[in-house]
Chains A and B, each alone.
Chain A
Amino acid sequence: MPSPPEADDVDTRILAAIARGAHVDVARLAPDATLESLAITSLDVVNALFEIEDEFKIEVPMERDEPLATVGDVLAKVRGILAASSNG
């Protein structure tokens, strides 16, 4: 089943925020791409999360036990927070 259009829109906004924060071309942000392969450092991740927080007016908590290895990991984490905040 295709995802509803709003979900695509959310992903587009998340990817755009990652691209802004990590200074990476958005076209390279495939979900299975590792952050390492995109030369996205830990400091770039911090920048990207800052952009995401601004974009959605949310807070991405500072948990460190769930490593963000791929672009898809970031998408999933942010989608989870957005789902939780819309349900709450």
Chain B
Amino acid sequence: MAEAVRRRVALTGRGCVSSLGGSIAELERALHEGRGGIVAVDPARYPGPLRLPVLAPVTGFDPLARFGEKRLAQLDPFAQFALGAAREAVAEAGVDPAALSSAAVLIGTGGGGQCTIDDEALGLYRDGARVHPLTVPRVMASSATSQIAIDFGCRGPAFGVTSACASATHAIGLAFQMVRAGLVDVALAGGAEAPLSYGSLRAWEALRVTATDTCRPFSRGRTGMVLGEGGGVFVLEAWEVARARGATVLAEIVGFGATADAGDLVHPDPAGMAAAMRAALADGGLRPEEVDHVNAHGTGTATNDACETRALHDVFGPHARRLAISATKSAHGHTLGAAGAIELAATVFALRAGFVPATLNYTAPDPACDLDCTPNAGRARELRCALSNSFAFGGLNAVLAVRSV
């Protein structure tokens, strides 16, 4: 059997749309300043009451200005966030349009065009209204992938990836494997989610996992997660291809690990989390001691944060206490299928800036979460390697390992 091709994979472009702003620069500024994007629910936006008090809606993003009226009509908000992020990522990478013609496009999402289906169903069931002819192309979970492929003329392998809150991490991990294995030289990968429609929010409320005050991961008195929206997209390139064209390499993706708990539908399993982290380390040939930083899944639910802490102890042993951990969902909210991409952007920022972002809204230590989660204030620290964790409902775990360059 021929030896498998195993190329290094460079990250050369990033784009991000989130509650912290419509660009990577705004995300990084907010993370550096320790500023969050969680705000009070705007009741004018919703047709009825909500129990949850706060959300993390996108700011600094004008869809009409970015896409124009005709294109915008094709785009559910989740696809707007993905396409906006993809354009920023391609611009930063400076990759030749010709090189994109064979690129892969893999975009994760948990729910796809939820805002569109909510709006159209309301009109149909309440008013007997006609359904808009662009509903299907807007709703399909692969529409963000298609829109990005169309925008850049990418004719390589392209499909949507879905695993709830781990979708973006699975998408980026798959793209990493495709580039590493020589299937493609370039991939655009990330995730997007627009779950702030009324029906979606009421569904999350019913599950009783949303915070009654705000998102305070790893803190005593945490009450749950805060839903956010957004998108993140990266340009991944074969190392030698990127270097040959003189591209700036922002970070190296070195490993990807994915596992399934095959247990409870919503209750996480520390063993499954730990197995995914171990798999990412092994895939990247990393010893636990080489990892300085973890962007935790850190949702702010009582259960996730305690389970993730146990998993980190299990994987890293005594070194766990030397990890600088950030739960940036406390700043940009839980963006579900986009979370892994926005958090990889935060991870790359941490590696490049030598700065550990804060876990915001922390009030007091919880003995079940006894690691250094960088409470309330970020700090400078040289960081060599980092993990970005995503542990989804349904027990689907995905972890990326990234190295500073």
Contact = CB atoms under 8 A, between A and B. Distances in A.
Interface residues of A, number: 12
Interface string B180-215: 000000000000000000000000011110101000
Q: In the complex, which range does the number of interface residues on chain B fall in?
A: 10 to 19
Nearest to A50: B206
A59 interface: yes
A78 B192 CA distance: 39
A61 to B, nearest CB: 7
Nearest to B220: A65
23 contacts: A41-B264, A42-B264, A42-B266, A42-B267, A42-B303, A43-B264, A43-B266, A43-B267, A46-B207, A46-B208, A49-B208, A59-B51, A62-B51, A62-B205, A62-B208, A62-B212, A62-B223, A62-B224, A63-B223, A64-B223, A64-B224, A64-B302, A65-B221
B241 interface: no
Interface string A49-70: 1100000000101111100000
B340 to A, nearest CB: 24
Contacts of A41: 264, 267
Interface string B262-280: 0011110000000000000
Interface string B214-233: 00000001011000000000
Contacts of A49: 208
A57 B267 CA distance: 28
A49 B302 CA distance: 19
A37 to B, nearest CB: 17
A87 B210 CA distance: 28
A62 B210 CA distance: 8
A61 B221 contact: no
A62 B50 CA distance: 13
B366 to A, nearest CB: 11
A43 B206 CA distance: 11
B212 A61 contact: yes
Contacts of A46: 206-208
Contacts of A61: 212
Contacts of A63: 212, 223
B311 to A, nearest CB: 18
B92 to A, nearest CB: 41
Nearest to B266: A43
A41 B208 CA distance: 14
Contacts of B265: 43
Nearest to B51: A62
Contacts of A59: 51
Nearest to A47: B206
Interface in B289-313: 302-303
Interface in B213-259: 221, 223-224
B179 to A, nearest CB: 38
A21 to B, nearest CB: 12
Contacts of A42: 264, 266-267, 303
A42 B207 CA distance: 10
Given A42-B264, A50-B206, A62-B223, 8 more contacts: A41-B267, A43-B264, A43-B266, A46-B206, A46-B207, A46-B208, A62-B205, A63-B212
A64 to B, nearest CB: 5
Interface string B35-64: 000000000000000010000000000000
Contacts of B224: 62, 64
A58 to B, nearest CB: 13
A63 B51 CA distance: 12
B205 to A, nearest CB: 8
A68 B221 CA distance: 17
A67 to B, nearest CB: 9
A31 B315 CA distance: 40
Interface in B132-157: none
State the 4 A-B residue pairs at the shortest beta-carbon distance, nearest first.
A62-B208, A46-B208, A43-B266, A64-B302
A41 B266 CA distance: 10
A61 B208 CA distance: 9
A54 to B, nearest CB: 11
Nearest to A59: B51
A68 B374 CA distance: 31
A65 B224 CA distance: 11
A61 B51 CA distance: 9
A17 to B, nearest CB: 15
Nearest to A67: B302
Nearest to A46: B208
Name, among A42, A61, A62, A63, the residue most crowded by chain B CB atoms within 10 Å (CB to CB). A62
